[in-house]
Amino acid sequence: MDVKQRILAAATRRFADYGYAKTTMVEIAADAGMSVGNLYRHFENKEALAIACMRRQLESKLRSGLDAADRAKSANEAFEAFLLARLRAGHAQFANTRHLYDMVRLVNERYRDLLLDFESKVIQALADILRQGIREGAFDVDDPDRTAYDIHQALMRYNHPVSLRYNE
């Protein structure tokens, strides 16, 4: 594991266990087996590190869906596999991250573009699966992009259990 990945792994664990507010760069450096000065050579500050951790988690969640869809033999199977893999990854992340709300709040308030970019990639992947299904004759969809967007919006609360807390 390279240095940057080691830092991200240590920071992700620390943020998950103690939350963003109660985590220090000194603790992350110690967990990563390096000096705090060396840590700052790789990340400007704690916020930049937290955003890198969130980006990594979002990419991993998307990759799990894409990989599952790639293994499918048909568009129907790809559609189901993509959605289920993302649901499972999201729920596993939620279950294993006591302080996920802190991270989501930070990203949502200050780095909304990160979430919008992720959302765009998810919608594009769904649209690609729908197009495959149209070619196979499995789906009768007039506008795959709009349908993908609607599916994504309909499943948002299930893909991101953290959103349930904001609506309590």
Q: How far apart are CA 82 and CA 110, in angstroms?
A: 29
pLDDT in tens, 28-69: 999 999 999 999 999 999 999 999 998 998 899 899 999 999
Residue 104 CB: number of other CB atoms within 10 A?
A: 19
Full domain range(s) for residue 140: 46-166
Q: How far apart are CA 64 and CA 103, in angstroms?
A: 21
Domain membership flag for residue 1: no
Model pTM? 0.84
* pLDDT value of residue 80: 97
Domain membership flag for residue 31: no
Q: How far apart are CA 76 and CA 86, in angstroms?
A: 16
The number of folded domains in the chain is 1
- The residue that leads in pLDDT, 93 or 66, is 66
Domain of residue 109, CATH code: 1.10.357
Domain membership flag for residue 113: yes
- Split at pLDDT 50, 70, 90, the class of 72 is very high
Lowest mean pLDDT among 2-6, 15-19, 76-80, 97-101: 97-101
Q: Is the pLDDT of residue 109 over 90?
A: no
Asked whether the beta carbons of 74 and 136 are under 8 A apart, the reply is yes
Counting other chains too, the contacts that 144-151 makes at CB distance below 8 Å and 24 or more residues apart are: 148/123, 148/124, 149/123, 151/126
Among all chains, which residue has been given the structure tokens 């930049």? 48
